[in-house]
Amino acid sequence: MTKFDFASWPPALTREQLEALTLAATTYSLSHGLLYLPPAPTQPPAPTSAIHAPISLFPAPVPRRLFTEAVALQSVYNVLYARIAMDTEFLDSVMGAEVGVGRADEFVGTLWKGWKAIREEGVVQPLQLGLFRSDYLLHTESEGGSLSLKQVEFNTISSSFGTLSERAAAMHRHLHASTEYYGLSSHLTADNFPSNNTTAGLAEGLAQAHQHYGASGSRILFVIQPNERNVFDQRWLEYELLKTHDIHIIRQTFAQLATSATLSSPDRKLLVNGHEISTVYFRAGYVPTDYPDPSYYQTRFLLEKSRAINCPSIPLQLAGGKKVQEALTKPGVLERFLSDSKWGTQYNDEQLKRVRGTWMDMWALDEDDTDALSSVSAPSPPSSSSSPSPASTSSTEPAGVRRALAQHASLVLKPQREGGGNNVYKSSIPPFLATLPPAEREAWIAMALIVPPKSVSSYLVRAGAGGTEGAVRSEVISELGIFGWAVFGGGEVKGEKEVGWLVRTKGTESDEGGVAAGFSVLDSIVLVDE
């Protein structure tokens, strides 16, 4: 078989074929719940209209060996981040407000201080639930070289688009079944469309936590943002939990919970409008704007100190910080979580090597010269000719800042934020660093940019409030996410599983990648052999 040519993807369509595929894709999406609420200043309590989610017409090509590797690694990552969330000493040192990121980041510091106070008061629920998503890009090792799998980030809170990604995959299978994509590509065969059952898998994780809680008649609480446009992605989980597991859901915002949520005494059962809650699933609370005043944090802490199992708990949310991702690259840290016998199951050197193989070079902006010399991360890509040399930067700056300035053309700077739109890229880095207060450097990491295959295209279809816009062919980058869950506590992982995937595709003109933030479309996979 000839080597797959990414630059030739997707096959060209005639105008008639493009119009037919667009109509088939959008009507399928509208008929099968691949939906968003339309943009509006305010949404009514009971929505009366919907639009299809942003979608692609062709699935994104992903090498079969790399997809298989990403799926296989998810269970290791599930265990890794569960163990990080159970290691209080480590999280205090990396994310805390006394010696860690929380000193420089008020949002992180406030969450950590609340968690510390709850620990001092006494944690009544040792179990935690994680619904995870590990995000990857294909990386070109060298010009014309082989591809590898590189991790963008690991998500521990509000890992969204699981249910809609399943429907995007079904939509592409439908297009193939109904049109065979006009016979335009030998790669578009039924056996190259991998199955995706993310809805059932994520619901299984929530149901496992509910069962561990063990109270008959209890319910799962979804903590949601007001005026949520991505409501259908959440509703499909709600429907699956009721249909398959006979578990009822309560949906509430932080503002609603301020008056509806109480703790029973003395056992601290969480009651919402009189209903006992087994599990709290956060689809809000990951950005500072979710806490417009201090009372919202107090509501979050009320949920955390209850007997309900939190998904995520505050320590698990903190474990998803970019600073933790960077700390894992330092000598001995990965071994702390995967090789130490105190955790029970240990992973061998080959498994650790495979995990490390998914990482790009990264470092802290406040890294000093001693830290830089001890780093064992892979070498950074060479900087472009427009980058300042290390000698041109002030020697009084930390080594991490000097290195970021020298290599800015091939870097991204990341804060401890989720939701898209937070990072600083390439030429924007020097002016940003010139204005970043030294006290805030600890809240940022630098990461070498992943280099995806060049000249890959797709047909992107977005819907507006007034109807469907036509498909636009654009040069794109596709990001693969693998979902998993873990129930854990007391130093032990009670259960974990890899449960599906998503693909988000964006135009190359955009550095950011969030669907909800408006940068990407939902996509799926066609497996290809290199």
What mean pLDDT comes out for the span 68-97?
98
Quote the pLDDT of residue 464: 63
113: which residues sit within 8 A by CB, 6+ positions away? 97, 102
Annotated binding-site residue? 310: no
Is the peptide bond between 312 and the residue preceding it cis, with omega within 30 degrees of 0? yes
- Tell me the C-alpha distance between 209 and 311, whole Å: 9
Q: What is the mean pLDDT of the chain?
A: 91
Residue 512 has pLDDT above 80, yes or no: no
What mean pLDDT comes out for the span 1-12?
86
Of 120-124, 277-281, 368-372, 452-456, which gets the smallest average pLDDT?
368-372
Annotated binding-site residue? 496: no
What mean pLDDT comes out for the span 346-369?
94
3-state secondary structure of 480: strand
Residue 395 has pLDDT above 70, yes or no: no
Annotated binding-site residue? 31: no
What CATH architecture does domain 363-448 belong to? Answer: 2-Layer Sandwich (3.30)
Question: What Rg value do the Cα atoms of the chain yield, rounded?
Answer: 23
Annotated binding-site residue? 512: yes
3-state secondary structure of 74: helix
What residues are annotated to the active site?
Answer: 133, 153, 155, 160, 322, 414, 418-419, 504
- Tell me which of 293 and 382 has the higher pLDDT: 293
Quote the pLDDT of residue 384: 39
Annotated binding-site residue? 409: no
- pLDDT tens by residue, 165-175: 999 999 999 99
Give 511's pLDDT tier (boundaries 50, 70, 90). low
Taking alpha carbons only, the member of 358, 446, 441 closest to residue 407 is 446
- Tell me the C-alpha distance between 380 and 157, whole Å: 29
User: Regarding the domain delimited by 6-87+124-342+457-528, which CATH topology (the fold level of the hierarchy) does it fall under?
Assistant: Rossmann fold (3.40.50)
Backbone φ, ψ for residue 526 (5° rounding): -115, 120
Domain residue limits, the chain: 6-87+124-342+457-528, 363-448
Residue 387 has pLDDT above 50, yes or no: no
Quote the pLDDT of residue 309: 98
β strands within 248-291, DSSP E: 249-252, 261-263, 270-272, 275-282
Apex 9 CA angle, 7 and 12, nearest 5: 120
Q: Which long-range contacts (CB under 8 A, 24 or more apart) does 238-243 make?
A: 240/163, 240/199, 240/200, 240/203, 241/203, 241/206, 241/207
- pLDDT tens by residue, 255-275: 999 999 999 999 999 999 999
